[in-house]
Structure 1
């Protein structure tokens, strides 16, 4: 049962980061100029847009690996939660097209669902960060870079 439990724990974490690693990161690498063009929607300068894409690549790769490996996984998940929120606010602005009530296939409605999905994903990362109960929140603030030891099989409580 131990191997199965580890496999389930890993699979859950993989599902959380799968959007970023490999897919979004690989898309940014293979279509770098297109990604910079999209980033220019949020910042006018090409240098700023390139910087945003490079920061995004770093977050998507390094933080996803942190969540998967359990190395500073709570801090990595916290950063990914913030990343999901920021990207929703910068690129999923459903209020801008002005066609939200125009029909079920309006651009605003499509962006609205993407906006909500980003925040739902942020909630999943915050579960990794803080755990599932109020008692585990203090442990994160006491040592934010500590691992949650996601693949430990013992039932001993985590050290704060």
Structure 2
């Protein structure tokens, strides 16, 4: 069953990053002007907005590849978790429209669910960063660029 284990390990990581690579990254490339316009909702300067989009594109591509390949995957997942949290706060502020209680189709309610989806995705990346045990934080702090060896199969001795 080693091959099935490898496939499952890869698919779990692929599902986590699929939103970013290829979809969001391609959207930023193919619709750069629109992405910059959306970023201008958070920062007024067009140049700063373009820089944010380029930084986001870098994070989405490079960090997703790190998570997929296992190269510095814990650090890459940590950066993606922060990216998800920051985008939730900057672009999903459900508290701003003031129409949360106006019904299920209100802008605030739609943003509310998107906000929590971003935070849930951040939680998934933090599981890669720290693992599922309490000792994971210390292991990450001791060697933040180390790989979690996601595709290593440990054979038990008979």
Into which bin does the TM-score normalised by the smaller protein fall?
Answer: over 0.9
2:43 & 2:155 partners in 1: Cα distance?
A: 48
Please list the CA deviations of residues 39-98 of structure 1 after superposition, one character each: whole Å capped at 9, or x if unmatched: 000000000000000000000000000000000000000000000000000000101111
TM-score using structure 2 length: 0.97
In the alignment, structure 1 residue 152 sits paired with structure 2 residue 155: no
1:51 & 1:41 partners in 2: Cα distance?
A: 14
Partner of 2:53: 53
In the alignment of these two chains, the number of paired residues is 156
1:3 & 1:112 partners in 2: Cα distance?
A: 40
Partner of 1:32: 32
1:44 & 1:38 partners in 2: Cα distance?
A: 11
After the TM superposition, which segments of 4 or more aligned residues of structure 1 sit over 6 Å from their partners?
none
In the alignment, structure 1 residue 136 sits paired with structure 2 residue 136: yes
Partner of 2:126: 126
Partner of 2:82: 82
TM-score using structure 1 length: 0.96
Please list the CA deviations of residues 19-58 of structure 1 after superposition, one character each: whole Å capped at 9, or x if unmatched: 0000000000000000000000000000000000000000
Q: Extract unaligned runs of 5+ from structure 1.
A: none
1:38 & 1:136 partners in 2: Cα distance?
A: 36
Cα displacement (A) at 1:135:
2.0
